[in-house]
Structure 1
Amino acid sequence: MKDWIEHFRAAAKGLVVAHVWRGYGSAIFVEFGALTPTTRMRKGGSPSAPSGEIGLMIEADWRIEDACTIVCGSGGDEELWEPTFASLIGKHVVNVATFGRLPEILVSLSDGFHVASFSTLEGDPEWTLFDRRSTTPITVHCRSGAIIEEQASPA
C-alpha cells in the first residue's frame, strides 16, 4: 500500500499557495503551484476557480492558524475569511501531515501558517487532496478511518 500522505508531502513541499477560494457553504479550496484556468462556468455565468497542480478541499470544519492563534475558521466570523485567504497567497508549503485517530489533514505553510481540518460531523473527516500533475489525477481522502486513493478517468 502506498503512503499517500508522503506522496502529497513530497509533491506539495515548496509549492506556493496560488489561490484560495470558498466553495458551497463553508467548504474551502486551497490551490498550490501553477494554476490552470477552467472552462467550466458557475451558475450565473462566471468562470469556475482555476485548479492548482496540487489542491486541498475541506468540506466542513476547518481552521487557519498563524504561529500563535486561530485566525479564522468555518464556525467563526465569515468576514475574516476572504482577508485571511488573501494572506495565504504566496506562502510556501512546508509540510503535509495527518493527525488524530481518524485522520485529519494539516498543511503547514511558511511564516507559521497552518490550514487544518477538524471534523465535528458524523462520518468521516471531510477533506480531499488532489494531484493534478498528470493526465490521470490522483484523489486522496479519508474513509472509515483509512486514507484511500481514487484515480479519476482522464478528461
Structure 2
Amino acid sequence: MKDWIEHFREAAEGLVVADVWRGYGSALFIEFGKLTPADGTRKDGTPGAPSGAIGLMIEADWRIEDAHAIVCGSSSDEELWEPTFARLVGKHVVDVATFGRLPEVLISLSDRFHVASFSTLEGDPGWSLFDRRGAAPITVGCWSGVITEEQVNSA
C-alpha cells in the first residue's frame, strides 16, 4: 500500500500557495505551485478557477490558524474568509500531515500558518488532495477511515 500522505508531503513541500478560493457553500480550495487556467466557464459565465500542480479541497469543515489562534473557519462570518485567504497566498508548504483516528488533513505553511480539516458530519472526513503534475492526475482522500486513491471510472 502506497503512503499517499508521504507522496503529497514530498510533492508539495516548498510549493507556494498560488490561489485560495471558495467552492459551493463553505468548500475551500487551495492551489499550490504553478497555476493552469481552467478549462471552460462556470454556470454564470465567469472563468473557472485555475488549478495548481497540487491542490487541496475541504468540503465543509475547516479552519485556518496562525501561530496563536484560529484566524477563521468554515463557521466564521464569511466576510473574514477573503482577507484570510489573501494572507495565505505566497506562503510556502512546510508539511502535509494527517491527524486523528479518522484521518483529517493538516497543511503547515510558512510564517506558522496552518490549514486543517475537521469534519463534524457523519461519514468520512471531507477532504481530497490532488496531484496534477502527471498525465494521469492522482486524487486521494479518506474513505472508510483509510487514506485511499480515488479510482476514476473510464467509461
Which TM class, normalised by the smaller chain length? over 0.9
Structure-1-length-normalised TM-score? 0.97
Q: How many residues align?
A: 154
* Contact kept in structure 2, 1:40 and 1:48, CA below 8 Å: yes
Residues 58-89 of structure 1: CA deviation (Å, up to 9, x unaligned): 00100000000000000111110000000100
Question: Structure 2 matches for 1:38-117, cutoff 5 A?
Answer: 38-117=38-117
Describe the SS at the equivalent of 1:139. strand
Give how far 1:150 is off: 2.3
* Contact kept in structure 2, 1:138 and 1:152, CA below 8 Å: no
For the residues of structure 2 that align with 1:76 and 1:123, how far apart are their CA atoms?
A: 23
User: What is the RMSD computed on CA atoms of the aligned residues?
Assistant: 1.1
For the residues of structure 1 that align with 2:153 and 2:118, how far apart are their CA atoms?
A: 30
Give how far 1:152 is off: 4.1
Describe the SS at the equivalent of 2:5. helix
Residues 77-113 of structure 1: CA deviation (Å, up to 9, x unaligned): 1110000000100000000000000000000000000
Q: Which runs of 5+ in 2 are unaligned?
A: none
Aligned to 1:122: 122
Question: One-letter code of the match for 2:23?
Answer: G
For the residues of structure 2 that align with 1:153 and 1:107, how far apart are their CA atoms?
A: 29
For the residues of structure 2 that align with 1:79 and 1:38, how far apart are their CA atoms?
A: 26
2:135 maps to 1:139: no
For the residues of structure 1 that align with 2:152 and 2:35, how far apart are their CA atoms?
A: 19
Give how far 1:129 is off: 0.1
Residues 131-153 of structure 1: CA deviation (Å, up to 9, x unaligned): 00001000000001000002547
Structure-2-length-normalised TM-score? 0.97
Q: Which runs of 5+ in 1 are unaligned?
A: none
Describe the SS at the equivalent of 2:150. strand
Describe the SS at the equivalent of 1:72. strand
2:15 maps to 1:15: yes
Question: One-letter code of the match for 2:65?
Answer: E
Aligned to 2:36: 36
Aligned to 1:150: 150
Describe the SS at the equivalent of 2:120. coil
Describe the SS at the equivalent of 1:98. strand
For the residues of structure 1 that align with 2:117 and 2:77, how far apart are their CA atoms?
A: 17
